Amino acid sequence: MQATLSEQEIVRREKLAEIQAMGIDPYPAPLFHITHTAKEIKENYTEETADKYKEVSFAGRIMSVRDMGKANFAVLQDSTGRIQVYVKRDEICTGEDKTAYDMLWKKLLDIGDIIGVRGFVFITRTGEISIHATSFTLLSKSLHPLPVVKEKDGEQFDAVTDLEFKYRQRYADLIVNPGVRDTFVKITKMKNAIRTFLNERGALEVDTPVLQSIPGGAAARPFITHHNALDMPLYLRIANELYLKRLIVGGFEWVYEFSRNFRNEGMDRTHNPEFTILEFYVAYKDYLWMMETTEQLLEQTAIATNGTSVTEVNGTSIDFKAPYARVSIYDAIKQHTGTDISDMDEDGLRDLCKKHRIDVDASMGRGKLIDELFGEMCEHHYIQPTFITDYPVEMSPLTKKHRSKPGLVERFELIINGKEIANAYSELNDPIDQRKRFEDQVALMERGDDEAMFIDHDFLRALEYGMPPTAGIGFGIERLAMLLTGNVSIQDVLFFPQMRPEKQAAVNVSIT
């Protein structure tokens, strides 16, 4: 069973059959020796360097063709950009046989086909650096037409913006929208800058399990699977925190991981069920040290990614230059609701949420209610990087109690452009206190909170061996990428975001 073919797809398959009938393999062996890229040629070719470009070998996808009868101009695109290629009938073909040009080039090739050309570089009468082809080779026949993108004078002014197309067919989106490629190149620069920062300071990159018997380290609903050989349920990790802390117990003093996490929750412009968190843990440090380190890390990463500490997101300038503002969560809620909640009990918090038309239910404890208040009433006000600090103990089951403020813990969240980007603690290393916090989470689970934490008995055993004072942090990598690339949707910084199943007409199609 196949989807219905369009008229263009049928024509391309007919051309494929003709090419094969000519004895030409439309998908030849992969080796094609490339000597130059489009970017290298266009940046370095001059009349003075022309001798270096007398023999070039280049491969790319046909993006447009301008037919001039016995000669054509085509634009080819490789991974670095686009370059014009000049193809002349009498130079491509030798002797009386003009089949290569008249049939293959002019009639059987299409926009989207991948070809290799050999020739020399020159400058056209209009001043455009181009490749004068002396031969060409079909490397891959395209059977699906590319979306039409309008261009003028080499500039694209009508990019494909259909989100269904962009996210579901990212491979085609990358071909026709060059800016998309730039986004993902920036993301790689961002990750490399983070790794460089951490590695230069002695941190060790590690890997921890994706399949876990206990979905620990965060308050989130997990995906559940089953291991047949062990006949036991397993969970896709919602966080890697508890495993990284085990490594601190084991004697490593600074570990980090780019962790692919999975949470069985809703999807929107800032949430995808599969996402990346950078977490790192450092022995003998606290959350105050972590704030300063976070400022340094993000300022250097922004500069490495964009050449400046300032980024533009939807018309708003955001500056990653240190230092960042610091506001306690109680002060933030008081500022934006007019109410001091520091001594308020669960019933009072529930009434305050209802006053501000925030949906709450009986499963929510004091910590969840405060989280809802901050999220609905405060978070969106913090556009420039701001540390929200000193959370109530009920909100932070893995965090050390505050050294001087009873009822609070040593925790901060970094808010930028109205969204949480990072979450950090002075880590709880008291195994008895940690066990009590886990038991409180179980009580919430019994009330119906499906995001409450499980008890991880092995992690408690690790703490009983002794974990040094430790600072830890987790960064939402896609959210940081959105900021540094100027995108407002998480789907724009994921190559392949999760989507609903595609609906297709299922009919038999035969091409003869």
318: left (phi over 0), alpha (psi -120 to 50) or beta: beta
DSSP string, 12-42: HHHHHHHHHHTT--SS--S-------HHHHH
Do both 15 and 132 map to the same domain? Answer: yes
Do 207 and 320 have their domain in common?
yes
Counted residue by residue, the chain has a size of 512
Q: Are residues 246 and 295 in the same domain?
A: yes
pTM: 0.88
- Residue 504, pLDDT score: 64
Q: Is residue 379 part of a domain?
A: no
Task: Report yes or no: 93 and 100 within 8 Å, Cβ to Cβ.
Answer: yes
Domain residue limits at 52: 7-146
Are 200 and 135 contained in the same domain? no
319 and 184 part of one domain: yes
**Cβ 460 vs Cβ 435: under 8 Å:** yes
Residue 370 lies in a domain: no
* The token pair that represents 316 in the structure block: 């708003």
pLDDT tens string for the chain (512 positions)?
456 899 999 999 999 999 999 999 999 988 899 999 999 999 999 999 999 999 999 999 999 999 888 899 999 999 999 999 999 998 887 666 778 898 999 999 999 999 999 999 999 999 999 999 999 999 999 999 998 776 555 555 456 788 889 999 999 999 999 889 999 999 999 999 999 999 999 999 999 999 999 888 877 889 999 999 999 999 999 999 999 999 999 999 999 999 999 999 888 888 899 999 999 999 999 999 999 999 999 999 999 999 999 999 999 999 999 999 999 999 999 999 999 999 999 999 999 999 999 999 888 889 889 999 999 999 999 999 999 999 988 888 889 999 999 999 999 999 999 999 999 999 999 999 999 988 888 887 877 777 677 788 999 999 999 999 999 999 999 999 999 999 999 999 999 999 988 876 444 444 43
Q: Are residues 414 and 266 in the same domain?
A: yes
In a domain, residue 280? The reply is yes
Structure-token pair, residue 134: 């002396």
Can you tell me the distance from the alpha carbon of 281 to that of 292, in angstroms, rounded to the nearest whole number? Answer: 14
How many CB atoms are located within 10 Å of the residue 284 CB? 12
Q: What is the CATH number of the domain that holds 414?
A: 3.30.930.10
Residue 303 lies in a domain: yes
Report the domain count for the chain. Answer: 2
Give the amino acid at 226.
H
Q: Say if 509 falls within a structural domain.
A: no
Cβ atoms of residues 281 and 480 within 8 Å = no
Clarify whether residues 134 and 202 are in a common domain: no
Asked whether the beta carbons of 107 and 89 are under 8 A apart, the reply is no
312 and 441 in one domain?
yes
The reply to whether 193 and 308 lie within a common domain is: yes
| 122 and 220, same domain (yes or no) | no
Distance CA 394, CA 382 (A): 23
Q: Are residues 305 and 429 in the same domain?
A: yes
- Is 154 inside any structural domain? no
Q: Is 413 annotated as a binding residue?
A: yes
The reported pLDDT for the residue numbered 152 is 59
Full DSSP string of 45-73 = --STTGGGGSSEEEEEEEEEEEE-SSEEE
Domain with residue 46: its CATH number is 2.40.50.140
Asked, for residue 239, whether it belongs to a domain, the answer is yes
CA distance 302 to 307: 7
User: What DSSP designation does 263 have?
Assistant: -
Q: 306 and 449: one domain? A: yes
Q: Which amino acid is at 472?
A: G
Residue 270 lies in a domain: yes
